[in-house]
Amino acid sequence: MSLPVILQPEAEETICGSAAWWAKHRSSQQTQQWYDGFLAAIDSLGENAEQHPVSRENQFFPYEIRDLYFGLGSHPTHRAIFTIQSSAVVVLTTRHLAQRDIIADDLPSQPQ
């Protein structure tokens, strides 16, 4: 069964911020490739969300959170943190893998 994928505003902001970093530090071609690839991977969650691992920080949240890992090369550089609801997959935020773990204050107590 296919579910719609909803990007929360923070997820959109962090993706755009990461793309801006790519544009400043990499080529515009790499920026577009990264941006399009990450969005395509996120969109695929509607079909395969359950196949992705539970986040290492899951125990700190009142709902299950999972990770989609993504990178241009053979090693992921970013993760999309999402939850699966009965009617949709909700992408809560994204993070570079070098960033600190998320804490309860980083995500809503109940996703929209």
Domains of the chain: 5-105 (3.30.2310.20)
pLDDT at 110: 66
pLDDT at 109: 66
- Which pLDDT tens digit goes with each residue over 36-69? 999 999 999 999 999 999 999 999 888 999 999 9
- DSSP one-letter code for 106: G
Q: Tell me the CA distances in angstroms from 43 to 6, 17, 49, one per residue in order.
A: 9, 19, 10
Query: Are 90 and 68 within 8 A, CB to CB?
Result: no
What is the end-to-end Cα distance of the chain in Å, rounded?
A: 21
Q: Is the pLDDT of residue 22 over 90?
A: no
- Which pLDDT tens digit goes with each residue over 68-106? 999 988 899 999 999 999 899 999 999 999 999 998 887
**Rg from Cα positions in the chain:** 14
Q: Is 2 helix (H, G, I), strand (E, B) or coil?
A: coil
**Which residues lie below 8 Å from residue 11, measured CB to CB, with a gap of 6+?**
80, 91, 92, 93, 94
Q: Is the pLDDT of residue 112 over 80?
A: no
The first and second tokens of residue 50, run together, are 């359950």
pLDDT at 59: 92
